[in-house]
Structure 1
Amino acid sequence: MKQALFMRIHDAVVAHDTCFVQKRNDAGRLGLSSLQKIGESTTIESLKKFITVVVEVFGDEYLRSPNSDDLKRLLAIGERRGFPGMLGSIDCMHWTWKNCPTSWHGMFTGHIHEPTIILEAVASYDLWIWHAFFGLPGSLNDINMLERSYVFSGLDEGSAPHISYKVNGRPYDMGYYLADGMYPSWATLVKTIPAPQGNKHRHFAKEQEGSRKDVERAFGVLQSRFAIVRNPARLWDKDNLKHIMMACIIMHNMIIEDERDEHERIRKLRKIHDIKEEYDHVDEIPHISLSLERTPTIMEFIANRRRVRDKQMHTQL
């Protein structure tokens, strides 16, 4: 992330928790700064406090569900990509738990053959993670995970935002997510067509599988940015691991927002630059000479034209 965004997070953490404020000891010597917690025990304790503060301060803004403006943007992008009504793509990621308690190994070990914790996420085209449900054991599959998550809780409670769109002239009022073949055949999930027959089915399968990669790309970018979730988890407490994952997702979304604003600014600057180049790269630049002589008035110009015309008529006679 950029230094300005890093310092924004740093200042918010320092303001929220006095643990990160640089203090003097009884001898009057300054202790470690908020950027300098380097001892092993101090580092672990600072990590726990840091992730807690990030979730408490930024969680409501960067772990929110899409608001009305977000929905309009997501629906518009989905329609341009050939999927009207699409709100993103959904999938699960397994995080290896190195220090999983021995008594829990059987519950947290699945097809990866080592203890893992599952993250269920919904990501959009720009890799923003709109939904994150973390903490269930790795022995579950995507369907078991979906039955326990709250991704569709708005539909159950009747608080889901109203969405209206048409496909092939037929109206629909429920958004959906793109999913892989493991998920159930629900109206809120659109899967690919296995073994598609015909050009129409093959085209749909290709487009669906290409757009569904958004969430997998989001997992890859998240792990590339934060080595702590790329490498096996080394803490013992599952709640701490949840805070680590949520804090990384929050900072991931903050980076996306920061880069999106920067890209928009660059796009506007490029547009202005392109317009300027259109005027700078004309084929022929006219040469303009300046004269210091007095410019005649319009009446003098007319009088001179009359004298020239009278002189020509007198010559012809």
Structure 2
Amino acid sequence: MKDYFIEHPRFPAHDFWRRFRMRRELFESILNAVVNHDHYFARRLDVAGQQGISPCQKLTFAFCMLANGCSADSTNEYCRLAESTAIENLKHFCKAIEGIYRATYLRNLNREDLKRLLRKADKRGFPGMIGSLDCYHDKSTIVLEAVVSYDTWIWHAFFGTPGSNNDINVLWSSPLLNNVVNGWASEFQYKVNGNRYELGYYLTDGIYPSWSTFVKSFSHPDSAKKKLFLQRQESCKKDVERAFGILQARWAIVRRPTRFWQSEDLHSIMMTCIILHNMIVEDEYI
């Protein structure tokens, strides 16, 4: 592993780790899993019969592109990958991450997950609340819709709607409420003000429809009770905003120009960044 930590003026190792706060043990775990999953990352002999670049170098470059949002040829001197090879390397890395970890780190809520989130929501004063829902637009050409819990874990990610759409248009295309519409949603009971409810809800902005599964803030609170609710709702609603901020800070590629990439590549890159984000969240809580 020592060649992974080679210092370079443009990409010093200490700065690289600080960018997205991943422990070395987690990186090594990802390295082993990716190498075992895709033979592309194994070390091979080149056309001259010499040892090619190591798996560490390949993963380092993939992480550099994701974390720094840099171009394919900007770290050629550091990792010794040609531009075309660097692009191929990143695509293989994203497919490997999705293939290995998608079922775990982009899973739907299971019963244990739901119980944990509901216990935390009840302590925060929102019994029955599943998470915070919002869309990330920024300057990107494609919108990300996400549901985030208190620990910034992203439970739902819908990416692919053109950036000219607003949050409501994205919701119409999203599979978020398919289970509710089809009657497959998890059943649980809770009480609010003496009334019994059986479906969970999401905290949203005022732009979303007035559905029972959305709890929005008051646009013009006219009483102390409504003002208190507005304060608490907006406080919990910031979970999704924090997640978007962390995602941009750790993986600069999601906020950079995207005209170079094909739509399927953009989707794979975004899902990879979300999976890695959730892995780091889990690693921090263990």
TM range (shorter): 0.7 to 0.9
Give the TM-score normalised by structure 1: 0.75
- The secondary structure found in structure 2 opposite 1:174 is coil
Rounded to whole Å, the distance in 2 between the matches of 1:144 and 1:26 is 52
1:35 shift after superposition: 2.4
Equivalent position amino acid for 2:218 in 1: I
**Contact 1:95–1:232, Cα closer than 8 Å, also in 2:** no
- The secondary structure found in structure 1 opposite 2:103 is helix
Rounded to whole Å, the distance in 2 between the matches of 1:235 and 1:87 is 36
1:15 aligns with 2:36: yes
RMSD of Structure 2 on Structure 1 (CA): 1.2
Rounded to whole Å, the distance in 2 between the matches of 1:130 and 1:6 is 22
CA change 1:77–1:181 in 2 (3 A) is same
CA offsets per residue over residues 88-143 of structure 1, 9 Å max, x none? 0000002645xxxxxxxxxxxxxxxxxx1000000000000000000010111111
Rounded to whole Å, the distance in 2 between the matches of 1:234 and 1:176 is 36
Q: Which has the higher contact order (CA 8 A, sep 6+)?
A: 2
- The secondary structure found in structure 2 opposite 1:58 is helix
Structure 2's unaligned 5+ residue stretches are 1-21, 59-80
Report how many residues are paired: 243
CA offsets per residue over residues 262-297 of structure 1, 9 Å max, x none? xxxxxxxxxxxxxxxxxxxxxxxxxxxxxxxxxxxx
1:70 aligns with 2:70: no
Name the structure 1 match of 2:15. Answer: none
Name the structure 2 match of 1:187. Answer: 212
Residue 185 of structure 2 is aligned with which of 146, 160, 183? 160
1:234 shift after superposition: 4.7
* 4+ aligned runs moved over 4 Å, structure 1: none
Equivalent position amino acid for 1:67 in 2: N
Rounded to whole Å, the distance in 2 between the matches of 1:3 and 1:59 is 21
Name the structure 1 match of 2:158. Answer: 133
Residue 59 of structure 1 is aligned with which of 85, 92, 102? 102
Name the structure 1 match of 2:72. Answer: none
**Contact 1:178–1:212, Cα closer than 8 Å, also in 2:** yes
Rounded to whole Å, the distance in 2 between the matches of 1:235 and 1:255 is 28
CA offsets per residue over residues 159-186 of structure 1, 9 Å max, x none? 1111210001110000000000110100
Residue 83 of structure 1 is aligned with which of 105, 112, 126? 126
Rounded to whole Å, the distance in 1 between the matches of 2:128 and 2:136 is 25
Rounded to whole Å, the distance in 1 between the matches of 2:37 and 2:260 is 24
Alignment of 1:143-222 (within 5 A): 143-222=168-247
Rounded to whole Å, the distance in 2 between the matches of 1:158 and 1:185 is 20
CA change 1:15–1:234 in 2 (3 A) is farther
- The secondary structure found in structure 1 opposite 2:55 is coil
CA offsets per residue over residues 237-279 of structure 1, 9 Å max, x none? 0000000000000000000000001xxxxxxxxxxxxxxxxxx
Give the TM-score normalised by structure 2: 0.83
1:35 aligns with 2:78: no
1:233 shift after superposition: 2.2
Residue 121 of structure 1 is aligned with which of 130, 140, 146? 146
1:229 shift after superposition: 1.1
Question: Is the radius of gyration larger for structure 1 or structure 2?
Answer: 1
Name the structure 2 match of 1:243. Answer: 268
Rounded to whole Å, the distance in 1 between the matches of 2:244 and 2:255 is 10
CA offsets per residue over residues 170-220 of structure 1, 9 Å max, x none? 100000000001101000000001110111010001100111010010000
